[in-house]
Structure 1
Amino acid sequence: MLLFSVDRSPMKRISILFVCMGNICRSPLAEGIFGHLVAEAGLTGGFMIDSAGTGGWHEGEPPDRRSIATAKSHSIDISGQRARRIRPRDFRDFDLILAMDRDNLAALEKSAPHGANIHLFGDAALGTGEDITDPYYGGPDGFELVYTRLLTGCCRLLETLGVERASCSGNTSSVR
């Protein structure tokens, strides 16, 4: 069952914004994973992918070193990303905004104009309704778990958007 819709006309780029609290752990990983999968599928020109945070504590900073290390261990480089806070124009500029957890979803819904296409990542990408837990206060295992859930969701999201990928099985070795 499709929980969201985006304009998939041939000439339209699909724009997706991944959102967590500070834009240094989960959403940069999601942006990196989805961008990697899109590039692997040869569809870079068909997508605009970005990430943001509901808070601005880390604006201008690179992702958390543990997110960078986790992505790097799967051959994805997110070190060039910089944290930013969600902007009012994001609600207009992005076809789909995916919040990593219910707290961020609620924060987005409070500031979004009517009709913004905002969903919980766990609903739209995973179909489970789960929150992607913030690994910030834990160790490397938490970041790897987040990576695995994001990979599974990003693969399913790409398939939902009409991209067939044989290597998108949720297996973490598929992007190493």
Structure 2
Amino acid sequence: MVCLGNICRSPVADVVMSARVAEAGLDEVVEVFSAGTADYHVGKGMDPRSAQTLTAAGYDATRHRAQQFDHAWHDEVDLILVMDHANHADVTAGRERARVRLFRDFDPVDAGGEVPDPYYGGEEGFGEVLDMVERTSAHLVGLLADVVGR
């Protein structure tokens, strides 16, 4: 899961997707982690508004520490999910694109959209991001379960 700073969108997607993967019993075959394309927040926890939104919804937001995307991951992971087109351009610059997709390519309601960055907006933006991430993660885990035969 990749966004710009790894403190809002991608950590929310990481936490929610990790929870859904565990609930589906896929945590032994699917690893989820997040990063940012920029190094602004490396080592820091997620934005307090993201953490508060996750906590209010029953998720554990305490373990996240921001890290920067490493292009070596292109050779190490099966799928890189980015939150918007700018993240896609940063991650694919001069690289193979086959394993890089928009996270919302898997959104059952609005496939192919971006996950908007709530950082400069109001509190409601964080809830909207969580809603998108929850429905997309649920759909994506269903697809993963089909792929691994569970």
**TM-score with structure 1 setting the length:** 0.78
Listed as ranges, the matches of 1:5-154 within 5 Å are 18-112=1-95, 114=96, 116-126=98-108, 128-154=111-137
Q: Return structure 1 stretches of 4+ with deviation > 2 angstroms.
A: 124-127
Q: Deviations over 1:55-74 (max 9, x none)?
A: 11000000100111111111
What displacement does 1:160 show? 1.3
Amino acid at match of 2:133: L
RMSD: 1.5
Distance, in Å, in 1 between the alignment partners of 2:128 and 2:66 is 21
Structure 2: where are the runs of 5+ without partners?
none
* C-alpha separation in 2, matches of 1:56 and 1:111: 20
Equivalent-residue separation in structure 2 for 1:85 and 1:19 (angstroms): 9
Instruction: In structure 2, give the amino acid aligned to 1:83.
Output: A
What whole-Å deviation, never above 9, does each CA across 1:92-118 have from its counterpart, x for those lacking one? Answer: 111000010011111111053x36500
Which residue identity does 2:82 align to in structure 1?
A: A
Whole-Å separation in 2 of the counterparts to 1:125 and 1:60: 30
* C-alpha contact 1:20 1:53 (8 A) present in aligned 2: yes
Q: Which has the higher contact order (CA 8 A, sep 6+)?
A: 2
How many pairs were matched up? 145
Letter in 2 for 1:44: D
Question: Which secondary structure state, in structure 1, belongs to the residue aligned with residue 139 of structure 2?
Answer: helix
Partner of 1:174: none
Distance 1:56 1:159 in 2: 33
Cα distance, 1:83–1:111 mapped onto 2, change above 3 Å: farther
Answer 1 or 2: which has greater strand percent: 1
Tell me how far apart the structure 1 counterparts of residues 112 and 97 of structure 2 sit (CA, whole Å). 21
